[in-house]
Amino acid sequence: MKHLSILGATGSIGVSTLEIVAAYPERFRVVAMTAGKNLDLFAQQIRQFSPRIAAVASPDDVGRLKELCSGLKVEILGGIEGLIAAATADETEMVVAAIVGAAGLVPTAAAIRCGKDIALANKETLVTAGHLFMDMVKEYGVRLYPVDSEHSAVFQSMEGHRSQDISKIILTASGGPFLNAPTETLAGVTVKDALNHPNWSMGRKISIDSATMMNKGLEVIEARWLFDVPVEKIDVNIHPQSIIHSMVEYIDGCVIAQLGSPDMKAPIAYALSHPERVATGVKPLDLTLFSGLTFFRPDMDKFRCLSLAYRAINEGESMPAVMNAANEVAVEYFLEGNIGFTQIAEVIEGTMNAHQAHRVTSIEEVLQADLWGRTIAREICRKRIA
């Protein structure tokens, strides 16, 4: 029996994780859970999985959640202290870090310091503070299992092989909903258009990141830290079918790939059960149904966010945190209908241009860079609205 804390239980990753837990009650037990604003769903999850601790991001929501969970034996907490308590619960062996955005940094760091293994679905943890988190992973002797389908694919393709034999990591990308759209039409993209991913079912923020290809840029930065390879050895290939989730090329010229139907339950289950595998209900892959699998390089001018992510990791230091903060703000403004789709990249670039990268040596300094980036990005957005 593995005891879990799930940070971000009501998001797409959290929901899929709980489906796996429900399918294997003899293997997994939920000790603690956290959520953002979806209190009704969270209360349903608490009733079903009976965690000892349930925490909401805002202290203002504690009273409402207590009302929804009346009669249940659960400790309900709020704010960052509540998130940390959920991440560090004594019984917990593994934390599923699925809070979207920089909000996941502090509870994930607290979990590592308490010796908890991490199933990492929060991109921003490694994007903004990769060197700090990987140093902590080593210092506290914990395991970090990637949940992203691309990083899980790389992880699986590396098992049984020496890291020094890696020639290249190739992350695949579907290209999102605008892969074949002319560049000049992107300025008129609506929120509904951008949320309509051709292959994957994801949350709103991640769906927009996929449409701009910022998600792939974030994954490049993650891969640099997860697998300890220089960014020069990390390539991105457009693969519209989303069947090969990523590949690893070795120095002998061989390439090992991981294939599967596009369903997040598979990489989540592998992170939870490693080194074993469990049935997930994911539809088996039948390659005879495909007329071909295609690959090509992304258009860096069309997908400027991907180019900006490469720039951020190459400049390093505080720049990835600033870039990530600007992206979160710009996506928020786009989802609210306040800026256009192509302005997302413009806001990020403007914020990065205003920043002088500097060394960060603690989570607190990363959060300061994050706050600076958000402040500048909001100023840029407000000017564009005006």
In the chain the beta strands, taken as DSSP E runs, fall at: 2-7, 28-35, 53-56, 75-78, 94-97, 117-120, 144-146, 166-173, 234-238, 244-250, 255-259
How far the first Cα of the chain sits from its last, in Å, is 56
Query: Which pLDDT belongs to residue 202?
Result: 66
Residue type, 240: P
Residue type, 263: D
Let me know if residue 332 belongs to a domain.
no
Let me know if residue 204 belongs to a domain.
no
CATH of the domain at 55: 3.40.50.720
Let me know if residue 138 belongs to a domain.
yes
Let me know if residue 269 belongs to a domain.
no
Let me know if residue 58 belongs to a domain.
yes
312-325 tens-digit pLDDT: 999 999 999 999 99
Query: Which pLDDT belongs to residue 336?
Result: 93
Are the beta carbons of 146 and 226 closer than 8 angstroms?
yes
pLDDT at 205 over 90: no
Are the beta carbons of 201 and 265 closer than 8 angstroms?
no
The DSSP output letter for 339 is S
Let me know if residue 89 belongs to a domain.
yes
pLDDT at 102 over 90: no
Share of the chain above pLDDT 90, in %: 84
pLDDT at 217 over 80: yes
Let me know if residue 348 belongs to a domain.
no
Q: Which range marks the domain in which residue 29 is found?
A: 2-146
232-245 tens-digit pLDDT: 999 999 999 889 99
What's the domain count of the chain? 1
Interatomic CA distance for residues 238 and 200, integer angstroms = 15
pLDDT at 199 over 70: no
Let me know if residue 243 belongs to a domain.
no
Query: Which pLDDT belongs to residue 204?
Result: 84
pLDDT at 386 over 80: no
- Read out DSSP for 192-234? HHHH--SS----HHHHHHHHHTHHHHHHHHHHHHHTT--GGGE
Q: In the predicted model, what is the mean pLDDT of residues 158-182?
A: 93
Residues 6+ apart with CB under 8 A from 214: 305, 306, 308, 309, 327, 344, 348
